[in-house]
């Protein structure tokens, strides 16, 4: 594994601590300590869940792609899974900012951008793993 991959993967892994800490905010929302309407509660839950799952998925994809026979384009595009771990949760949280929003605001586009990033990253990673597997002696 390259030094750059180790360093960035370590930094990404440390973000899981922040995601876990964000769970305390979610608990305060659910317990009523932080005022939020139902739209905000559902978006906050979705944002928190997507952040945790996508960061771990992105790290797993990164580890799988770190093989000598996997093409460089697969590693590059596979990191889009980690980008989705930023975009989707940001969309969920930022689209319901404010007092008593009745519907998500324009930041909801980040959710779709994150979903597109996730799909492209996963399809590319899967294809690169197949190509890498076929290239093994």
- Whole-number Å distance between alpha carbons of 49 and 38: 17
Looking at residue 4, its pLDDT comes to: 81
Looking at residue 128, its pLDDT comes to: 98
Looking at residue 2, its pLDDT comes to: 79
Say what angle helices 109-134 and 80-94 make with each other, to 10 degrees: 170
Rg (CA), the chain: 17
Q: How does pLDDT run across 97-126, given as a tens digit for each residue? A: 999 999 999 999 999 999 999 999 999 999
Per-residue pLDDT at 35 exceeds 80: yes
CB burial of residue 98 (10 Å; 0-12, 13-18, 19+): exposed
Largest CA distance in the chain: 60
pTM over 0.85: yes
32 half-sphere exposure, CB direction, 13 A CA radius: 0
Within 10 A of 93 (CB to CB), how many other CB atoms are there? Answer: 20
Nearest to 46 by CA among 94, 97, 92: 92
Q: How does pLDDT run across 50-92, given as a tens digit for each residue? A: 999 999 999 999 999 999 999 999 999 999 999 999 999 999 9
Looking at residue 3, its pLDDT comes to: 86
- Domain ranges for the chain, please list them: 3-134
Which tokens belong to 121?
Answer: 């990253």
């Amino acid at each position: 594994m390259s030094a750059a991959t180790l360093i960035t993967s370590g930094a990404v892994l440390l973000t899981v601590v922040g995601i876990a800490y964000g769970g305390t905010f979610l608990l305060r929302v659910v317990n009523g300590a932080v005022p939020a309407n139902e739209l905000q509660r559902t978006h906050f839950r979705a944002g928190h869940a997507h952040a945790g799952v996508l960061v771990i998925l992105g790290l797993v994809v990164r580890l799988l792609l770190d093989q000598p026979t996997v093409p460089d384009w697969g590693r590059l595009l596979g990191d889009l899974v980690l980008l989705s771990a930023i975009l989707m949760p940001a969309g969920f949280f930022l689209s319901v900012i404010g007092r008593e929003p009745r519907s998500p605001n324009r930041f909801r586009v980040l959710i779709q951008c994150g979903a597109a990033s996730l799909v492209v990253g996963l399809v590319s990673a899967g294809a690169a793993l197949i190509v890498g597997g076929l290239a093994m002696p």
